[in-house]
Amino acid sequence: MTPSASRPNGVTGCTSGFPNSGVLSPAGFSAEMAKSATIVEVLIRFLGSMFHQRTIKQLVKTTGVGLHSGRRVELTLRPAAPDTGIVFHRIDLPEVVDLPAQAAMVKDTRMASVLSNGQARVSTVEHLMSALAGLGIDNLHVDLTAEEVPIMDGSAATFVYLLRSAGIQEQASAKQFLRVLKPIEVREGEGADAKWARLEPHEGFAVAFSIDFRHPAIDSTASFAEIDFATDSYVKQIARARTFGFVNEVEALRSAGLARGGSFDNAIVMDEYRVLNSDGLRYDDEFVKHKILDAVGDLYLIGKPLVARYVACKSGHALNNQLALKLLAQPDAFEIITYASAAQAPLAFRQEWKLA
């Protein structure tokens, strides 16, 4: 969650672009292998060095408050079978409601990405989804006792910690990737008010983002960042970037039912001139890095890790969701692939755990 890049106090425009930047089938198993290993272990060994889907090894849980609702919520993460995907469950309702983490399920993008299934909602999924993308988790059940994922410290770091604490488990199914084949772009506004987001073909996964809030505290930091996950660590360089907000917007946001759980403990808070948090910033470019964190989470609602480059100017949850839906609506713009061996995969995915 971050404020819209088109704020009433004025935002200048930015340029229209940035500088360019089959599963193998081994012969079979031996009888000895079958006796000495579990079925899953045997299958993983049988499938060789291909990329495998991932889940977590054991259940893990935490409690917190919703950033917008202000309500206490218990979050439980549970392992899921291959090809399940990420599924949220509202277990507090009279009958449990399932909400798959899919771009088409996003029905509200005001200050967060919100999944809806009938009257049931799950809000602020982007930080958890970002952590799952960063650690390469394909399958997971997410149980919630309220309508919003807890905000924790305002970043993805707590979710990374929880997932690592639970342990990451490879599964006996091929990991699928969505490779972008041609540029897809969405755009809103004109001139200085223009905002846009684009996906481009790229053999790996990279993100380039530009922000422009015209605020002294933000302007004093970097307004542009590019992360190439072939060489950059999600955990070290992105996961700890916190959401941010402005004191002069709090009353209006709370009147609209938003930011009721916001505090110095879970957001960077600014007045008209400066950051008010006593501990300052975690990164010199924390603002733009949080926008990257959000984008990684929003894009993971496509349902598979992207083999692509994402480039954006002042984008937010709404444009990110529009971009995902536009891509999925054009079958000739992408293909679903697996990698038969680690050597065939882009460096961004081969380095994934090492860099994390």
| Cα atoms found within 13 Å of the Cα of residue 248, Cβ hemisphere only | 9
Would you give the DSSP letter of residue 356?
A: -
Residues 327, 306: Cα–Cα separation, whole Å: 11
CB burial class (10 A; 0-12, 13-18, 19+) of residue 192? Answer: exposed
Given 52, 89, 202, 317, the catalytic residue? 317
Residues found in the chain: 356
CB burial class (10 A; 0-12, 13-18, 19+) of residue 52? Answer: buried
Start-to-end C-alpha separation, the chain: 23
In three-state secondary structure terms, 234 is helix
Amino acid identity, residue 162? L
15: nearest Cα among 234, 224, 272, 250: 224
174: nearest Cα among 348, 24, 335: 24
Residues 134, 353: Cα–Cα separation, whole Å: 9
In three-state secondary structure terms, 70 is coil
The residue to which tokens 């460096």 are assigned: 347
161: nearest Cα among 288, 262, 61, 233: 61
Active-site residue flag, 89 = no
Residues tagged active-site: 317
